[in-house]
Amino acid sequence: MHPVLTLVIQRLALGLLLLLAASVLIFVGTQILPGDVAQAILGQGATEQALQNLRAELGLDQPAFTRYFDWLFSALQGDLGTALSNGLDIATSIGGRLQNTLFLAAVAACISVPLAIFLGLLAVRYRDRWPDRLISAITLTSISLPEFLLGYVIMYFFSVQWGLFPSVSNINDGMTFLEKLNAVALPAIVLTLVVLAHMMRMTRAAILNVMQSAYIETAELKGLRRFTIIARHAMPNAIAPIVNVVMINLAYLVVGVVVIEVVFVYPGMGQYLVDHVAKRDVPVVQACGLIFATIYIGLNLLADIISILSNPRLRHPK
């Protein structure tokens, strides 16, 4: 079997095992939460018989082992259960929320990824000079601030003081694409500032590592321009670590937006999760956790596969 195919199969198998382990942790974590779900639904005045009947109806009287596999097999079939707080189908409710979160993540990614790579190339071109120091200082400052603080600062200036964008990022299906972009502008800016430094510095470090290679010295002796050497010779050979860090940050843009969605009251998965955690709606928490884990593991798995395929030593073994 070709080495590339072998490595890809191994990564896929590892990804499935990680996802299975994540599902176990999610289920166990929700089961050990303090309190009684039946008591939370019926209230403190509920009789013991009513509590027992509700536990039986919800399947809470079954062993944890049985409940885990029932939940897992149902999730694999697309059935995420019913929300305890409102009786609505979780998969249907999550569908629109997940679409909103993915839209916000896509907007932030379209801004942050090209900008991070460009700034990384620029920092390498002017290494140890004032553009490099300025880029590093600004990006490190943005990543050092807590997300909620950065969100409120951006909201204060861009919305309250200057009135450029709405402070509440509310979108719906009746809005045009440009209206949606205007609505998500502030959370997208905050997410861009949060992930920009990590991607930019990894791009800079990866290219600087490649710049020490012998073929780069040959290109310099040929008299090629510095930026041409960086963009056409160093960048393609530094793609593997850059792809890895980009995918990690893309995963964060999807699964790490809880704080940003709460700050800007954005109707996404994070806001949906926080609302139902407060209601102790365990099936919703489990469903959101499983979806977040799937997206995070899937994107990291994709990064591994791209890194394998971009390695010429694996594609063309001797």
Reply yes or no on whether the pLDDT at 60 is more than 80: no
Identify the pLDDT of residue 317. 59
The rounded Cα 72 to chain-centroid distance in angstroms is 23
pLDDT in tens, 84-94: 777 788 988 89
Counted domains in the chain: 1
- The count of residues in the chain is 318
pTM across the whole model:
0.85
Token pair recorded at residue 114: 């090209």
- Report if residue 31 sits inside a domain: no
pLDDT in tens, 230-272: 877 787 777 777 888 888 888 888 887 888 998 998 999 988 9
Identify the pLDDT of residue 126. 87
Domain that holds residue 225: 91-300
pLDDT (average), residues 108-124? 90
Q: DSSP letters of 246-274?
A: HHHHHHHHHHS-HHHHHHTT--SHHHHHH
Measured CA to CA, the distance from residue 220 to residue 252 in angstroms comes to: 38
Residue 1, classified by CB atoms within 10 Å of its CB into exposed (0-12), middle (13-18) or buried (19+), is: exposed
Measured CA to CA, the distance from residue 172 to residue 229 in angstroms comes to: 46
Identify the pLDDT of residue 270. 87
- Report if residue 86 sits inside a domain: no
Identify the pLDDT of residue 155. 93
- Report if residue 102 sits inside a domain: yes
- Report if residue 170 sits inside a domain: yes
Reply yes or no on whether the pLDDT at 40 is more than 70: no
Which of left, alpha, beta for 114 (phi over 0: left; psi -120 to 50: alpha)?
Answer: alpha
- Report if residue 6 sits inside a domain: no
- Please give the span between the terminal C-alpha atoms of the chain, in angstroms, as a whole number: 14
Token pair recorded at residue 280: 């102790």
Q: Are 186 and 154 in contact (CB under 8 A)?
A: yes
Identify the pLDDT of residue 96. 87
- Report if residue 192 sits inside a domain: yes
Identify the pLDDT of residue 35. 66
- Report if residue 47 sits inside a domain: no
- Report if residue 39 sits inside a domain: no
In this structure, what CATH number is given to the domain that contains residue 251? 1.10.3720.10
Identify the pLDDT of residue 51. 75
Identify the pLDDT of residue 278. 75
Identify the pLDDT of residue 245. 85
Measured CA to CA, the distance from residue 268 to residue 277 in angstroms comes to: 14
pLDDT (average), residues 113-120? 90
Measured CA to CA, the distance from residue 227 to residue 21 in angstroms comes to: 45
For the chain, give the mean pLDDT.
85
Picking from 298, 229, 290, the residue whose alpha carbon sits closest to that of residue 79 is: 290
The rounded Cα 189 to chain-centroid distance in angstroms is 15
Q: Are 198 and 139 in contact (CB under 8 A)?
A: no
